[in-house]
Chain A
């Protein structure tokens, strides 16, 4: 039975209090990690999995690649959560969020900040840096309320796609134990964030778009389809391939993005969120991913 955001937040907030944790003390952080000692990401989740380039790698190469892939995953989720914290902070205590929604946003922001600390501790300690994102904000004209919808769609995409990986890796005994635990802790919080995000975004979409023209709605739907596809390309980072010792990083990226097995994986991993967007009218058709 679907719940409204207002109905959900009391229960979600109580769970946040009950399951509170600390990124500094909830894990044993080793001084260093050996990139070639074990897998750090489930092989099936790696961005080159299924490609000819992946098949050509030996076991040690694959383990080393998985180390840089997990650092890339943690890096872009961290950097994707940064605007989430900023956007949620701006939206709390507004007329339309005053009360229980804002009460829950305090938990949301608190947990997102903990995730950022957790990913930062990992990447800075074991990789020595955060992989930078290559995004450049360029303003565009928006319909009334569209900025909010764009914001919540971005939140849903970064959290939903990230959670697909979290859910698989939290159960994968083949990978490094710290990485497995980080995925487990992240998933626990994200499950609540997604429940809230889906309910709240659906309400906002119905509220804002009823006054939009068909052209405004079509422009938003077109943006979302392209943004969704673009978000997936974060996983295919030429710097990761270079750091793992693979030549031709940009070409490897283009080949992996276009590879049928990777296309099929992206479609399957996106299915739940695509169905949500289609059901509520955010998208008019499934995007080409």
Chain B
């Protein structure tokens, strides 16, 4: 997996978790929490998945709920080296 795969990998994880089959609507701006795809309980799982992708722990005290707004904010927060204009396939 390369860095450019990260947005796609995150999108798939979120859509699988939310049991979404129709994925056409989803892009890097889709609201993950506000649109009800994930709850705060799912975020716990997402953080552990992100830690596995990063290979290091996340400092939870440094996080704000806004980091989980959409794929773009997730990538910016947790994978800053990934190109911001990565497209989601």
**Interface on A for B, CB 8 Å cutoff?**
132-138, 140, 226-227, 230, 233, 238-239, 249-251, 253
Contact = CB atoms under 8 A, between A and B. Distances in A.
Interface of B: 33, 39-41, 43-45, 47-49, 51-52, 57-58, 60-61, 63, 65, 68
Contact of B44 (A134, A140, A249, A250): A134
A134 B40 contact: no
B68 to A, nearest CB: 7
A238 B49 CA distance: 10
B48 A136 contact: no
The dominant DSSP class at the A interface is helix
The dominant DSSP class at the B interface is helix
A226 B40 CA distance: 11
B49 to A, nearest CB: 7
Contact of B60 (A135, A138, A239, A253): A135
Contact of B43 (A132, A136, A239, A251): A136
Contacts of A135: 40, 43-44, 60
Given A227-B41, A230-B41, A233-B44, A136 B68 contact: yes
Q: 9 tightest A-B contacts by CB?
A: A250-B52, A138-B40, A230-B41, A134-B47, A134-B44, A136-B43, A138-B65, A226-B41, A134-B60
Nearest to A138: B40
